[in-house]
Amino acid sequence: MTPSRSILGICLLAGGLTGSQQTVFRGGTQGVLVDVSVRDGKRSVSGLRPEDFRLLDDSVPQTIVDLTTEVIPLDVTVLIDVSESARLLFGDTLIQAGNRARGLFGPNDHIEVRDFGAQIVDATTWNGESLGSWATGSLFGDRGTALFDALAIAVMRPPAVGFRRLVIVVTDGRDTASFVNHQTLLAIVKRADAVVDVVAAAVVAVGSHSQLATDTPTNLPRPAETLVTVHDYANPLKKVTDLAGGYFFDLNENSRSLEALGVTVAEFRSRYLLKYVPSGVGSRGWHTITISVPGHGYQVVARKGYVR
Amino acid sequence: MIKPWLLVSLAAVTVLTAPGAVSTARVAIATELAQSPAAEPLFGDYANGHFAEVAVELANVRDFSAFETDVERVLRNARPEAEELAAAFALEAAHAAYSTRPRRVGDITRLTTAARRLLEVGCTIVRRKPASSEFAHRWMLASLSLMEGDSYPVDLLGVSAFDKHLDHLKGRADPGVLALARGVNREQKVGRLVAEWAVQDIDRPLSPHELERAQATLRSATDALTAARTYSNVTAEAVVRLGFLSTVQQQLMMTQGHADRPGRAVQELRTVDSMTADPVLRYLGHLFLGRADELSGDPRSARDEYRRAVSATPGRSGYLALAALDFLAGSESESDPSPELASLQTRAADPWLEYFAGSYRNWPQLLEDMRKALR
């Protein structure tokens, strides 16, 4: 039987840690590892012990057999939305955000940068001046935004052995060109090992749904002044970060979101890494994980489950 | 900087435009040349067959609103023997406007408005010509391609002059091509709908009102493409597009909580390889079949279809769909990730990205055919 991807990835991660750093996990027991962020307001909570956590696997209490806060290098993908809509609506804001996100990582981290409009381009060697899609953009030059495709590709890539996987997306939130639909993206995120953080600028649509859905011919486009801000458009991305144990930062609501992202990345390096060996639960399929720190009002963020 | 060939072409303009129009035109030219190319010398050079050079100069136009007015004035005075040239020039100017990179959101409206007016200038001329002429035929094909390419990039701006143009060409253009173009026009509205679903909270079922609108949009496109399907020269593409609409209908029903089997259109799509040798249509056809099989809970058949798709055209969406299937099945391993996923690093071309732009994918060839018909 082929072991599930999550379990396998976890074992490889553990093996990598065992080989390249100090031994973190006992024995060769197969288990589940979960990255966990614990906050008290904006402050990270440190010093917690395994017995401080309550962990449920499909509502069945589990015993945490190991906990570490050891700093682990990151395997990061930064996705930067360079679609025409993002460029027109936000100028260089998203590019600068992407560049600053890239600057959050150190020499021990592995980092790749991809820009995406309809195309998805490896921009790891990008010098911050010329992004492919923007250089050629025109009304015909960029057939939309393949946000879900770009996310799916990034999330499916397994982490380098001994690294924690993090995907950061800087986007205006619109998707008009992906072949991967939202349901498939969510299924991929559920199964993947990556934590996903999203930095979104105001998510904007032009025109109204009712007009778009009707078949009434009109000869001229609506004027640009009919821009409509629709915050609900962030929901699909929030569902991604929620499932993947990441955070959603809205540049529109808080111009200091980039600083918040920096704090989150720093915290991500030293998140609690909990290990447990599932017991009393089914062997196949999706397992919902619920983690809390009883007796405190802490905010606990972790992925919502795994596939076995 | 004014190109020497532009100055030479001023002489040619006197032959092409009616007496009396030239002197006033020269004044305008002198003013506007300081900023961006002027219509009259460009038209003159176009008449001399410098198509590629004129296309380069058209790309330098800064203010298409003013340029469109200039073009209209120049072409209004074109002599009867230069009318085909005028129509072709207007179409190329329209393409240049569409191809200009907008700097601000408001530019989109200005550019598309100018482009559509330029196209209409050409269309007015062509409608005066016998529909049976080779040039008129080629111009109409190219203009439909342009309109199909126009509508999608400005998708969320909503509507375009496409319907109006289709009405203008009714009874004149190839009926199959025209029917397919109408289907593409309707299908673009479905595309906008799908894009809307993608960015909204699509896990919730649509309200009865939303569902009714969505169904109406789908029906409209299906009806138009079903009509196109009866024309043998466009049957294959109409079948591919009907197959796509069937997958959208399947998804819609699933969102509403109803399992929906693929429609008849999907069954017909399974014969796509026998209908066409076009690698783009084969790719899209198998891509949609893969999606239909996935929606029907048959990943094994879906994988076969996606493999057929990428063997026709190595498009990103096909490889991504394969990689996702492997990933979700847990059949890849950490040390040996899906080869499809690895190949996604470099593959960029993907007909799916041009899908809603219809025959615009053939624009370079259609443009060349129109230019040849001028010679």
pLDDT single digits (tens) A256-303: 666 777 777 777 777 888 999 999 998 777 889 999 999 988 989 888
Burial status of residue A129 (CB atoms within 10 A of its CB: 0-12, 13-18, 19 or more): exposed
Q: Would you state the pLDDT for residue A71? A: 77
Angle at A75 between CA A72 and CA A80, to 5 degrees: 135
Q: Is the pLDDT of residue A66 over 50?
A: yes
Contact flag B199-A173 (C-beta cutoff 8 Å): yes
* Residue the block writes with tokens 């990598």: A16
Report CA Rg, chain B. 24
Q: How far is A308 from chain B (nearest CA, A)?
A: 9
A220: nearest Cα among B157, B360, B91: B157
B226: nearest Cα among B215, B237, B214, B211: B237
Q: Would you state the pLDDT for residue B53? A: 95
User: Which chain A positions have a beta carbon within 8 Å of B150's beta carbon?
Assistant: 139
The answer to whether B176 and B231 have CB atoms below 8 angstroms apart is yes
Contact flag A8-B334 (C-beta cutoff 8 Å): yes
Q: What is the mean pLDDT of chain A?
A: 70
Q: Does A142 lie at the interface with B, CB-CB under 8 angstroms?
A: yes
Angle at B245 between CA B242 and CA B251, to 5 degrees: 150
User: Which chain B positions have a beta carbon within 8 Å of A157's beta carbon?
Assistant: 337, 341
Sign of CA dihedral A159, A160, A165, A170: negative
Q: Is the pLDDT of residue B83 over 50?
A: yes
Q: Which residue has the higher pLDDT, A90 or B277?
A: B277
Distance CA A95, CA A140 (A): 21
Q: Does B230 lie at the interface with A, CB-CB under 8 angstroms?
A: no
Q: Which residue has the higher pLDDT, B360 or B18?
A: B360
Contact flag A212-B189 (C-beta cutoff 8 Å): yes
Distance CA B73, CA B70 (A): 5
Bridge-based pairing state of the strands A43-44 and A64-68: unpaired
Contact flag A217-B108 (C-beta cutoff 8 Å): no
Burial status of residue B232 (CB atoms within 10 A of its CB: 0-12, 13-18, 19 or more): exposed
Substitution target in B101, B103, B206, B294 with the highest count of A β-carbons within 10 Å is: B101
B188: nearest Cα among B362, B354, B365: B354
> What's the residue count for chain B?
375
Q: Does A284 lie at the interface with B, CB-CB under 8 angstroms?
A: no
Looking at this predicted complex, what is its ipTM?
Answer: 0.83
Distance CA B268, CA B207 (A): 31
Residue B80 tokens read as 């009867």
Find the mean pLDDT for residues A47-76.
90
B287: nearest Cα among B265, B310, B264: B310
Distance CA A63, CA A54 (A): 8
Interface of A with B in 10-39 (CB under 8 A): 12
Interface of B with A in 2-31 (CB under 8 A): none
Q: Is the pLDDT of residue B93 over 90?
A: yes
Q: Is the pLDDT of residue B253 over 80?
A: yes
B192: nearest Cα among A8, A213, A47, A113: A213
Interface of B with A in 276-305 (CB under 8 A): 287
Percent over 90 (pLDDT), chain B: 52
* Residue the block writes with tokens 């934590």: A195
Contact flag A221-B333 (C-beta cutoff 8 Å): no
Q: Which residue has the higher pLDDT, A143 or A27?
A: A143
Residue B167 tokens read as 């009405």
Contact flag B352-A179 (C-beta cutoff 8 Å): yes
User: Which chain B positions have a beta carbon within 8 Å of A220's beta carbon?
Assistant: 109, 113, 116, 159, 161
Q: Would you state the pLDDT for residue B5? A: 31
Q: What is the dihedral of CA B154, B157, B158, B161, to 10 degrees?
A: -70
Burial status of residue B4 (CB atoms within 10 A of its CB: 0-12, 13-18, 19 or more): exposed
Interface of A with B in 237-276 (CB under 8 A): 239
Q: Is the pLDDT of residue B15 over 90?
A: no
The answer to whether B183 and B156 have CB atoms below 8 angstroms apart is no
Distance CA A139, CA B159 (A): 15
Contact flag B105-A88 (C-beta cutoff 8 Å): yes
Q: What is the mean pLDDT of chain B?
A: 82
Nearest to A217 among B159, B195, B334 (CB): B159
User: Which chain B positions have a beta carbon within 8 Å of A218's beta carbon?
Assistant: 158-159
Contact flag A187-B104 (C-beta cutoff 8 Å): no
Distance CA A117, CA A145 (A): 4
Domains in chain A and their CATH numbers?
Answer: 5-70+270-307 (no CATH), 74-267 (3.40.50.410)
Q: Is the pLDDT of residue B319 over 70?
A: yes
Q: How far is A1 from chain B (nearest CA, A)?
A: 10
Q: Is the pLDDT of residue B302 over 90?
A: yes
User: Which chain B positions have a beta carbon within 8 Å of A211's beta carbon?
Assistant: 158-159
Q: Would you state the pLDDT for residue B200? A: 57
Distance CA A197, CA B23 (A): 64
Phi, psi of B23 (to 5 degrees): -60, -45
Q: Would you state the pLDDT for residue B313? A: 92
Q: Would you state the pLDDT for residue B343? A: 59
Q: Which residue has the higher pLDDT, B11 or A80?
A: A80
User: Which string of DSSP letters, residue by residue, matches B344-361?
Assistant: TTT----GGGGGGGGGGG
User: Which string of DSSP letters, residue by residue, matches B115-178?
Assistant: HHHHHHHHHHHHHHS-TTSHHHHHHHHHHHHHHHHHHTTTGGG---SHHHHHHHHTTTS-HHHH
Per CATH, the architecture of B193-375 is what? Answer: Alpha Horseshoe (1.25)
Q: Would you state the pLDDT for residue B342? A: 60
Nearest to B328 among A191, A220, A223 (CB): A191
Task: Choose the weakest-confidence range: A154-158, B166-170, B344-348.
Answer: B344-348
Q: Would you state the pLDDT for residue A195? A: 82
Task: Choose the weakest-confidence range: A111-125, A261-275, B271-285, B330-344.
Answer: B330-344
Contact flag B105-A89 (C-beta cutoff 8 Å): yes
Sign of CA dihedral A53, A55, A61, A66: negative
